[in-house]
Every structure is written in C-alpha cells, then in structure tokens.
Structure 1
Amino acid sequence: MTPLHARRRTALAAATAVVAGALLTTGLATGAATADSAPAGKPVLGGAPVLLSAAARTSLIQEREATATETAEAIGLGAKEKLIVKDVVRDVDGTVHTRYERTYDGLPVLGGDLVVHEPAGGTRTVTKAVKAAVKVSSVTPEVTAGKAKTQALAAAEAAGSERAEAGSAPRKVVWAAQGTPVLAYETVVGGLQADGTPNELHVITDATTGEKLHEWQGVHTGTGKGLYSGTVTLGTHKSGSTYQLYDTSRGGHKTYNLARGTSGTGTLFTDADDTWGTGTASSSSSDQTAAVDAAYGAQITWDFYKNTFGRNGIKNDGKAAYSRVHYGSNYVNAFWQDSCFCMTYGDGSGNTHPLTSLDVAGHEMSHGVTSNTAGLRYSGESGGLNEATSDIFGTGAEFYAANSSDAGDYLIGEKIDINGNGTPLRHMDKPSKDGASKDYWSSSLGSVDVHYSSGPANHFFYLLAEGSGSKTVNGVSYNSPTYDGSTVTGIGRAKALQIWYKALTTYFTSTTNYKAARTGTLNAASALYGSSSTEYKAVAAAWKAINVS
C-alpha cells in the first residue's frame, strides 16, 4: 500500500472562503489535478457541449417544459402521451438536445424516453428508446399489486437477498422497453443483497397476466484500488475552529463516516489542524485515510467531467453527490446509489483494505452520470454498455489525474490483486484475459452478466483510442486483437472520450444495445468531426473490429 498523508493549510476570508493551501507529504509527490488545472481534451468543436451555468441550464429546461405539449404533438405522440424534461444539452453551434421521459394516461412509460435534437436553423430529429407506438388497451390491472409484490420479494430472495422488503407499494407503469408496450407493475425491493450491498431490485410484473417481465439491480457495484493515490491536495472548509472534509469549490461535496453502519448518512469528517490521514490503512472505524482517498476521488471525477466535457457535476446542475466510507464490516466492495445520490465504500478484507480509490470513484460516480443522461437499463446489452461507460470514464479520470502514484492505464483494478495472482479485474485491450469477459459482440451477449458483457464496448474504446496490435502506454504493454483480423488505427484517447460522452448524453437511450451504440457514436463523431472525417471512419472500423456493423 502506498502511504497517504494529506495536509492542506487554508486561509479564510470572512471566515468562509477557502483558498488553496500547501501540503506536508510523506515523500511522494503527485500530479493531482485541481479545478484550475489545464483542461484535458477541452471541447472546442461546433458539436461539443457548452458548459452551462446553473441559471442558464434551469432557464433552458423551463423553456422546454413550457413547450413540451407542442413538442409531443410535433413528433407524433398520441393524445394520452406527455413529455417530461429530464435533461438538456446545448452545443457550441447552438444545437439543443432535450432528453424527455414519457407518460401515458398519467403512468410512467419505462423505455419511453427520447431525445429531441434541434439544430440552430435546421431540421428537428428524434432519437427514441422504443420505436413501437406507446398504447395499451386499458390502465386497469387484472392482477393485484399484492401479487406483484409477492413475486418481487421471491425474486429478491432467490438472488440471495437478506431482509428483503418492498421499499414502497408497487406502482403502475407502462413497460415499453421490450416488444409491445403493456400495463405493468414496478416493485422495488430493499434490504440487503447476499454480500451486504444495499438492495434496490426492480421487478416488472405484467399487470394483466402476472408474468414477471424483467428485473434489474438499481445499486451499481464494483471493486477498485485503495490507498494508492499518494499525497494529494484536498478541498476542505473551516467552520469555527474545526476543519471539515467539505469541498465548497466542487458543488459542496462532503465525506461522511458510517463507522461500520449500513444505513443513514453517518458523521461528517472533521479535524482540528487540517491534516488528514495517517498514511497507512487502519482497522479503526474512525480512520481518516479512507476518507482522504474518497474525497480525492470525488474531486478528480468532478474536475475530469468539468474540464474535459464541460459537465458541471454528475447531474450537470452544479451540485455534488456525497461520499460515505467505513460501510459495514469486512465489506469488499463499493457502490453508487441514485436513491441517495451518494458514493459508498467498504473497508475490504479485515477492514484494512478500503476500496476508496480513483478507479472506484471514477467508475462508480460515472454510473450516476449515465443514470442522469441515457439511463441505460442495467441488464442485457444496455447493462453491459452501462458498465463499459463507467470503465471508460473511470479510465479517463485516472489518466486525467496524472498521478505518479497511479499512472493512467487501460487496466481496471490492477493494484488490488483481487485474483491473488497480480492480474487486474479487467483488460480493455483484450477483455477475455480475465477469463470471463467477452472480446466481441455475439447474439448471446445479452444473457451475459453486465460486468462481462461490457467487454466488447471496452475493447471498442481501446481500439478507437489506441488502435490494434502491440504497444506500450505509460509503461504497460498491450496487444489488442480484432474479430476480423483488421488493423485499426487509433485517434487518441481525448477524441475517443469526446465521442463516447457525446453519444451517451445526446444519442443513447435507456434501451440502447450494441447496434444502437454504433449508430450513436457515429452520429457523435459526425457532429464533432464530420461524416467524412478520419474520426468517423475510425469509429466505424473499431465497431467492425468487435463484430458490430
């Protein structure tokens, strides 16, 4: 483990304004990025998103809300359908992309989301999650909500959940994500999963036949490095004579101590002298070192999104999520929850290997970005793309940090040695190296666990960024194959990240599969670089190289 000992001296104006301070180190220097650091791949192209102020974004959303009824009519929705604005993106060239959720006769339509693209002076186009017309014969169920609840609890128990309980009464919805839209119930089951992770199992039950139609987990989990960031600069805040692990410069991110608990917010970390952490892992439930890593991961992830894509926080509204450390006992995982809008870390085996690392933060918080943009359903091919998105942006954040204690690479979880043989969790250049992930798309990919069906998308991203064949990046050797034996020439990580981000935020929907992801990234490359550009051709070549065409 790399010793970690962060110190930040702050000067206060009017007792509230926190300014940059100095560090006392343990002898390890790092290149930690700050909010004022030079952008990594800052968007400058016409099709790139604009960094909107909170007020400008709110105003744009209000404008689209005021015209939602007219928009619904203009794009051909039925009289019983309404649009609800979820997000809005404005490009440098003036194009506005508005993401909508849909209702039918007052019921939420799951799989009914869509994006309306409005070029300045151009023709409006629409990207829909489902092409079928949203219509059901009746909104009166023939199956009781109680039966749906019983079915959902049984599904959770079959998956090994402990203390399974329905978080609320089943709600009526229109399920449109698969085939013909039907009236259904959505039940969310709480409690704990088999490994101690909080449970948010969504179960969809046909309200006419009682058949279980679908299920997916709402808590997104993953593993990563702990205590490898070295000495880092932290954003803290002084309240009276006490310092708080509260970053006022990045949306108000706070880091809390659960002290082995598994619910609630916990207690905000405080310190008397603004010196945080001891530099070594400790089994103490009040240990600050895990909190330092968590806070660092959150601020790097914030800076990465803001300076690379012009995104102002996970929801793009200038407000931070919060972090919780010391979850449970011997909990070997970390997870993101939309319901609390928070990031949570366990302390690992023996409570001495906290999973509070940059890999984990970048990956897990990117689940929050996905949820607040495309909303990729966490199952089937869309679930694999959801996981790959977190790997892609987690990798992007790691490179962005330029941290000499943990240089950027295309390996996921390479330092935790969870396999016991020194190998990483995942390899983006050749995913099958982990023994379970898939290198290429196949018709059976949708039935594979999302952590392994992410493989082809990770492989696509690596090929797009770096190209095929043998090479070394930051001292790590890679050798990426292709499905058809073709040679792919990479366009660089910065451009590859811009293309994936634009596709996620403006062209992907909740039901996007691999074929649709190809279309979305080609649309993104066209908007950013042109349809006859080298970048556009590289996107097509990289998809073909993983058997998607």
Structure 2
Amino acid sequence: MKNKLIAPIVLSTVLLAGSIPFSNVLAKQPEEAAAISVTKKWNEKANVPIFVREKQLEKRNATNASDALNYLEEKKDQLGIKNPKAEFQEKNTKKDNLRMTHVRFNQKKNGVPVEGAEVIVHYNENNQIVAVNGSVNTDLDNLNLNTKPEVNSENALAVAKKSVDAPAQLQYDPTTELVVYPFEGEHSLAYKVNVNFHGKEPGNWFVFVDAHTGKVIDQYNAIMDADEINTQTGNGTGVLGAHRLLHISQKKNPNEGTVFQLADYAHNNLGGIFTYDAPTGSLFTSNSASFKKDYDRAAVDAHYNSEKVFHYYLDEHGRNSLDDKGMAINSYVHYGTNYNNAFWDGRQMTYGDGDGSYMISLSAGLDVAAHEMTHGVTTNTANLQYRFQPGALNEAFSDIFGALIDDANWEIGEDIMGPGAKADGRESLRSLSDPSKYRVGAAYVAYGNGKGKYPSHMNEFYDLPRNLDNGGVHINSSIINHAAYLTAQDIGREKLGKIYYRALTTYLTPTSDFSAARKAIIQSAVDLYGEGSSEVAAAANGFNKVGILE
C-alpha cells in the first residue's frame, strides 16, 4: 500500500496545503503562548456592515470629505450613525480612471480610531453619490469609555513582544497605534502593536494591549509572507530549467571589479525590483550577466516572476507596484531549511526551498509570486484583517489573482509540487475550478460537513476557531475562489480581473465579510459595465451558485 504523504510544513499567507496543523507554519498562536492567556474571542460582528445604493441620484455641490459628511448626516438614520460629523474623520480621497471619487472615513471615539470601522462614500463622474459602504460600530454612542491611556506605548510594546516570543532582532521597527478595540459586546482602549520578525517561526503579529491594564486582550499572526549602477539585460536558468531574460544591474567596486546584481532599475517611477539571498541578506551577484549556478535558480525565478506580476498590475490596472506609489519590490530566497513555505510579511516576499519531496523551491511558481504580491496590494488597499471571513477574502483575492496572472489553468501551486506530493495525487495546492479535489487537514474535518474536503459552497463552510487556520482563512477562501471561477466562465479572465481588482481597491474595508464582498463585486461590475449588463449578472451568478446570497 502506498504511504499517505504528509507535508512537514504548509504555506502560510501563501497557500495552506491542508494536511498540516496551522501552528507548524506560523509563530505561536495565543492558545500556545506561555506569556499570556487569551479568554475572549474576537467579535467580527461588532462593526455592522452597511451597503447603500442610491436610486435617486442628485447632483452634489462638491466631491470631497465635507460634502460626504453632509450626506452621511442626511442619511444617518438609514445608516445607523448618530453623529457622523463627530464620529468620522477623512482617511483619504481618491479619483479613479472612471472619474469616480471615493472618500474613505475612519470611525473614531473621542478622536481615537475604532479598529476595522471604515465607511466609503462613492461619487460618479457627475458629482452624484451612487453608493456608501463599509462598516460602522453602533455601540459607540452609549459607550462610556475612558480614551486616555494609563499605560505608555513603550510598555505596551514590551508586553506585545513578550507575548509572541519575539526575538531580540526584529525585521522592521515595531509600530504602536492607540485604537478602540471591540470584543463580544465589550470595547477596550488598546494599543495595536505590530511586531515583525523572521527566523524559525516568522511572524507579522498584531497584538492588542489594554491601554489601562497593560494586559494582552487579543493577538493574531498576519504573515501571509547605489553608485555607478546601470540596468541592463541578463539571463539565467530557473528552478525547472526555463531560460529567463532578466533586468539586472552592473556595479563597479573599486577592489572587486565589476559585478552583476539581481537589481532591476528599468521601470520608471518604481523603486526597483531586488532579489536577495536570505541567509546572507545580500543581493544576488554574479561575475557575469548570466546567473546559471544551481544556487542561483530560485533567485532567477523570484526576480523574473516579480517583474511579471509588477507588469500585470501596471498594464492591466494602472497600478504602480504594491502600494501604487512605486515601492521597491523585494524578494528573499533560500529561506530556512527544507522550508515548504513562502510568505508576505507586510513588506517583502520570502521563499523557502521546499524539502524536495513535498515541494521544490517555491519561487518557481508564478502563481505563488502573484499570490504573495497580491497580499501586498491588499495590505495597501482594503487591508482585510487576517482572520475569519475577512482573512478568507484576503487569501481568496491572492489565489484569484495568482490564477489570473499565471493563466495556464485554475490551479494554485502546480509548479512547486515535489515528486512525493505528485505520487500521492497532490498535483497542486488548491483548485479554483474544483476545490473539493483535495482534502483538508484532519484537525479541521470536525468543523465542516464531515466530508473533509475544501469547500465549494456555503453549506460546506468550516466554522473554525481562531487557533485553527486563523478561523479558516485558507480553507474557506476556496468558496470565494470558486465563485470567481464560475463568473469567469461567463465573462472571461480579463473582465473578472477588472471587477475583482476594483472591488478590492475601491469598496472592501478591513472587516468586510463574504456578504460584503458580494455587494462590492456586483457594484464594481455596475461601475465598469453598467446596470443590467451581462457582467453584472455573471458576478451575481457566481455568488449565487456558491450560496452567498443577498
């Protein structure tokens, strides 16, 4: 009898392979951390979703935050907001290529932002408000909360670092922000601390420390994952033997002569595309313009795929890098030992080499690179919280754009599966066309319908606790994946990408759930193709078929 293959590690913010406990890949979950004991559960319903489409359009005097607040005041009873002008503050205002204007607000209590509560007012090109969406916290009006902290941010940071067993050396400087944090009918004044580190168990932790008591009330891991320099064309050999044309740089060192680097400065208004060796932290270099050593292969693919994904977002959606401001695109390869993982850590992409049996070098997959870089787009737009349904949407958008950019099929990760996985029947990590072709891990089966397969419909939804897959971010994402696939069968990949990109960057907010995603995607189709169009019908039909209804 053939032995059942069990992978030693799964993909984190990339691609949970399903047969491995979630805690094997991420840093310690709250239930495991010795430093704290978290007894409360996150209340994802604390912020009430809203979506209002205007039927009678009236021309406004302006398309700015002041007018948008006036509109919210006019509609406050319908929206469930008692005092919009006191509670909401402009976060940003953007005009898109359809000449629509979108004003995004944060909800605040005594000037302190409420975690996850954002509202967006949308104007069409005729200065008419067509929709309002987001989420509001309706408990704030009667909330008697002291918003003056008794604990300082330095102490909160120390508590947060201890709670996640952070090493002395962090990947980036940690950040702290004072927020109002909702829990199961309760609200706390808290420091939202972001601690980011690599190592054996990489982490991009968000820790919420009570600003009055100094105790941790919640935490989750959101790791998902030049002088005399001239850019020129080089070449290299990828993991699977493909010949790659690359943009590289030539640098003259006084003592070493000329070296060639995987550093691409060829794109206007982009900070560059750079590929590093994770063990040394140095740019990949060669004595010639050819990168063909075995050790170079993972770097060659990471560099090549990063440019492909960059061009997709620029050419198809007019987006300049992950933040739309030309941020540098940094990739690190050869991370860890036998590491079956890749992740976006909030700022860069990191790829393991695989164990050679279950997975090979993860940078070999264009869809893997697209998945990770799309997490970067999400971080800089909707910023979907990485747990429960918002986290599943976060994963789904990365899978969907992974399949759109690597458009050979509707599978994710087919190029990184090792011989052992293939011998066991695992040809890819997930399938958008047929999610149920693969099993989930044994720890998850009891929370579904008992069949133990990736879900394709809401009647197969896994009601997972937070300590398993962050509440189902990888597993339940397959429902949204399948809805997108079904829509694409009616309208094609290009239109699907335009609709889903618009929903992600224009309508979704940090706490958006599956129902909010349906509304956002349908509204995006209306914006792009018109009310009553076949594209709108296809967008709605995709969700209908997976049981996400009005």
* TM-score above 0.5, yes or no: yes
Counterpart check, 1:253 vs 2:258:
no
- State whether residues 196 and 345 of structure 2, in contact with CA within 8 Å, keep that contact through their aligned partners in structure 1: no
Change beyond 3 A, Cα 1:393–1:142: same
Work out which of the residue numbers 101, 118, 122 in structure 2 matches 1:117: 122
Which deviates more, 313-322 or 73-82? 73-82
Partner of 1:274: 289
Counterpart-to-counterpart distance in 1, 2:103 and 2:134: 12
- State whether residues 330 and 349 of structure 1, in contact with CA within 8 Å, keep that contact through their aligned partners in structure 2: yes
Change beyond 3 A, Cα 1:412–1:168: closer
The 5 A counterparts of 1:101-250 are 101=106, 103-124=108-129, 125-130=131-136, 132=138, 134=140, 136=143, 137-141=145-149, 152=160, 156=164, 168=174, 171-175=177-181, 182-191=188-197, 196-205=200-209, 207=211, 214-221=218-225, 227-228=239-240, 230-240=242-252, 241-250=258-267
The 5 A counterparts of 1:35-434 are 68=65, 71-72=68-69, 75-76=72-73, 77-79=84-86, 81-85=88-92, 88-92=94-98, 94-101=99-106, 103-124=108-129, 125-130=131-136, 132=138, 134=140, 136=143, 137-141=145-149, 152=160, 156=164, 168=174, 171-175=177-181, 182-191=188-197, 196-205=200-209, 207=211, 214-221=218-225, 227-228=239-240, 230-240=242-252, 241-250=258-267, 251-261=270-280, 266-278=281-293, 282=294, 287-338=295-346, 341-349=347-355, 353-357=360-364, 358-399=366-407, 408-417=408-417, 419-420=421-422, 421-423=424-426, 424-434=428-438
Change beyond 3 A, Cα 1:101–1:303: farther
Counterpart-to-counterpart distance in 1, 2:523 and 2:185: 25
- State whether residues 145 and 169 of structure 1, in contact with CA within 8 Å, keep that contact through their aligned partners in structure 2: no
Aligned to 2:392, the other structure's residue is in SS state helix
- State whether residues 220 and 364 of structure 1, in contact with CA within 8 Å, keep that contact through their aligned partners in structure 2: yes
Counterpart-to-counterpart distance in 2, 1:366 and 1:387: 9
**Cα offset for 1:214?**
4.1
- State whether residues 111 and 176 of structure 1, in contact with CA within 8 Å, keep that contact through their aligned partners in structure 2: no
Partner of 2:498: 498
- State whether residues 186 and 205 of structure 1, in contact with CA within 8 Å, keep that contact through their aligned partners in structure 2: yes
Aligned to 2:178, the other structure's residue is in SS state strand
Aligned to 1:115, the other structure's residue is in SS state strand
TM-score by length of 2: 0.69
Q: Give the unaligned 5+ runs of structure 1.
A: 1-62, 400-407, 467-489
- State whether residues 88 and 106 of structure 2, in contact with CA within 8 Å, keep that contact through their aligned partners in structure 1: no
- State whether residues 273 and 306 of structure 2, in contact with CA within 8 Å, keep that contact through their aligned partners in structure 1: no
**Cα offset for 1:244?**
2.5
Q: Deviations over 1:355-390 (max 9, x none)?
A: 213122100010000111111110000100100100
- State whether residues 507 and 520 of structure 1, in contact with CA within 8 Å, keep that contact through their aligned partners in structure 2: yes
Aligned to 1:75, the other structure's residue is in SS state helix
Give aligned pairs, total.
Answer: 430
- State whether residues 83 and 102 of structure 1, in contact with CA within 8 Å, keep that contact through their aligned partners in structure 2: no
Aligned to 1:219, the other structure's residue is in SS state coil
**Cα offset for 1:529?**
1.3
**Cα offset for 1:142?**
6.8
Q: Deviations over 1:95-138 (max 9, x none)?
A: 12244445544434321233231222232343223353656532
Partner of 1:461: 484
Counterpart-to-counterpart distance in 2, 1:296 and 1:505: 25
Among all aligned residue pairs of Structure 1 and Structure 2, give the percentage whose two residues are the same amino acid: 33
Q: Deviations over 1:259-283 (max 9, x none)?
A: 525xxxx2122333311223xxx4x
Which deviates more, 524-533 or 181-190? 181-190
Aligned to 1:345, the other structure's residue is in SS state strand
- State whether residues 255 and 325 of structure 1, in contact with CA within 8 Å, keep that contact through their aligned partners in structure 2: no
- State whether residues 139 and 183 of structure 1, in contact with CA within 8 Å, keep that contact through their aligned partners in structure 2: yes
Counterpart-to-counterpart distance in 2, 1:173 and 1:139: 9
**Cα offset for 1:537?**
1.2
Counterpart-to-counterpart distance in 1, 2:174 and 2:417: 40
Change beyond 3 A, Cα 1:318–1:207: closer
Change beyond 3 A, Cα 1:259–1:374: closer
Aligned to 2:203, the other structure's residue is in SS state coil
- State whether residues 174 and 182 of structure 1, in contact with CA within 8 Å, keep that contact through their aligned partners in structure 2: yes
Q: CA RMSD in A?
A: 3.4
Give the residue type in structure 2 aligned to 1:374. Answer: A
Give the residue type in structure 2 aligned to 1:309. Answer: H
Q: Give the unaligned 5+ runs of structure 2.
A: 1-61, 74-83, 226-237, 253-257, 441-453, 466-470
Partner of 1:508: 508
Aligned to 2:536, the other structure's residue is in SS state helix
TM-score by length of 1: 0.70
